[in-house]
Amino acid sequence: MISTAHPSARIDPVLLESITAEVDAAVGDATVTGLFRSVMADNLPAVAELAADGTTYLLTGDIPAMWLRDSAAQIRPYLILCGEDPALAETLVGVFRRQVEFIAIDRYANSFKRGTEPSPHAADRSDAPPQVWERKYEIDSLCFPIELGYALWRITGRTDHLDGRFAEIAKLILDVWELELDHENSVYFFERDHEQASETLSRGGRGEPVGPTGMSWSAFRPSDDACQYNYNVPGNMFAVVVLGYLEAIADQLLGDPRLAERAARLGDSIRSGIEKYGVVDHAEFGDVYCYETDGLGHHVLMDDANMPSLLSLPLSGYLAADDPAYLRTRKMILSPANPYFYAGRYAQGIGSPHTFPGYVWPIALAVQGLTATDREEKLAMVRLLVETTGGTGQMHESFDANDPTRFSRAWFSWANAMMCELVLDLAGHRLDALLH
């Protein structure tokens, strides 16, 4: 693990020992308990850089940039516990404040730098300002900060972070989502010279044609791959949920009925679009949700390992884990009907077109466990995660289902966090239970 050595970003040692004891009692597996304790102790301080302005810059791990999505996902297990650890909560509030300021810099960017240091993506054709690492617009990138701000309020009781500055940024987010209801009105474009078509948008950086659906357009998926059809359904589902959070914040904390009404109206529009255009009658599985659609009669039936995904719908809050529509969709995407579901000698699970064929993602295995209604499936997933580190003691981005010693990204902080979140679930601690 690459450490940036910020011990003040650690979870309180007493709290860590207490929660580790709960995990040991609940799981009864010393290997799982040991890996959980090690990762919970090291994963956050290895990526957190505490700034003098009270914000926290969170590296994605082995890439020296901060993603809006990844930074929120990386702290999920710590978020569950921060109500018992004020210093930890302060670090997480710092992550939220940095996200807010990044959106103020560029509402279309997915990832940012510490300052204006060089980026490997400097040749991209976009309107990115110098603080941006890359400007791949993904609807979910704007969802995660809202969820994080709401979660910090509900878990800690703090409201100081949901202030006038946040209200300004929330309105910027709504501006984007409302504008992208009809992408023809948008000025966003993105082009990158790359051998992989998924690294850029077609048609001069504008993307393929779409028809209005009530959903909001997205250029890229949570994997940072270009959308095939630009209404990403799980991203829009997440937007519906966080718009509900924003409505509650505006109503209960900001005293802004116009903002609350605006969030509610947009949420209704997107939800209607999802249910009209995002549902497909599958010959084997019945009515299921597609991954993407264009509003012109085309759709793609698949799921990707990155969150938000169709598999993660109960975590994002759009559907319950026992909802019949979710269960039908889950059955489809955890089968060969999903072109990115892979099975091998050591594992089976969801991968991604972002990585090699046959490579399963630990994030998806953790999400499968977190969304399972059966405890034995949860235990099976956590044991599979522990057994497929390739001897490194770290979660990877992906690994070969036939040979776990073959993997991409030796250390992936987000995957580490999701493993810990699943272990906490087995000990009776769930983030969605604190929010929904």
Specify if 1 maps to a domain.
no
Residue ranges of the alpha helices (H) in 157-250? 164-179, 202-205, 233-249
Contact 397, 388 (CB under 8 A): no
Would you give the DSSP letter of residue 11?
P
Specify if 343 maps to a domain.
yes
Specify if 195 maps to a domain.
yes
Specify if 242 maps to a domain.
yes
Residue 61: its pLDDT value, please? 85
Summarised one tens digit per residue, pLDDT across range 356-404 is 999 999 999 999 999 999 999 999 999 999 999 999 999 999 999 999 9
Instruction: Dihedral sign for Cα 175, 177, 182, 188, please.
Output: positive
State yes or no: pLDDT of 185 exceeds 90.
Answer: yes
Specify if 2 maps to a domain.
no
Residue 5: its pLDDT value, please? 38
Q: Is pTM, for the whole model, over 0.95?
A: yes
Average pLDDT over residues 7-20: 91
Residue 410: its pLDDT value, please? 87
Domain that holds residue 413: 7-435
Summarised one tens digit per residue, pLDDT across range 228-243 is 999 999 999 999 999 9
Secondary structure (3-state) at 148: helix
Q: Which of 360, 356, 352 is nearest to 388 (CA)?
A: 360
Torsion region of 183: left, alpha or beta (phi above 0 gives left; psi -120 to 50 gives alpha): alpha
Total count of domains within the chain? 1
- The two three-digit tokens of residue 358, written as one number: 């046959």
State yes or no: pLDDT of 206 exceeds 90.
Answer: yes
Cα(220)–Cα(339) distance, integer angstroms: 19
Average pLDDT over residues 192-203: 94
H/E element, 342: strand 341-343
Block residue for tokens 């960017």: 109
Percent over 90 (pLDDT), the chain: 95
Residue 396: its pLDDT value, please? 95
Specify if 197 maps to a domain.
yes
Specify if 17 maps to a domain.
yes
Contact 66, 98 (CB under 8 A): yes
State yes or no: pLDDT of 2 exceeds 80.
Answer: no
Phi, psi of 350, deg, nearest 5: -90, 135
**231-232 vs 132-134, strand pairing mode:** unpaired
Q: Which of 147, 139, 252 is nearest to 188 (CA)?
A: 139
CATH number of the domain that residue 47 is part of: 1.50.10.10
Taking CA 311 as the corner, what is the angle to CA 306 and CA 316, rounded to the nearest 5 degrees? Answer: 80
Secondary structure (3-state) at 267: helix
Specify if 137 maps to a domain.
yes
**What count of other Cβ atoms lies within 10 Å of the Cβ of residue 156?**
20
Residue 436: its pLDDT value, please? 76
**What count of other Cβ atoms lies within 10 Å of the Cβ of residue 63?**
15
Give the pLDDT band of residue 34 (cuts 50, 70, 90). Answer: very high
Which distant-in-sequence residues (6+ apart) come within 8 Å of 203 by Cβ? none
Q: Torsion over CA of 228, 231, 235 and 240, rounded to 10 degrees?
A: -170
Secondary structure (3-state) at 338: coil
Contact 357, 351 (CB under 8 A): yes
Taking CA 224 as the corner, what is the angle to CA 270 and CA 203, rounded to the nearest 5 degrees? Answer: 80
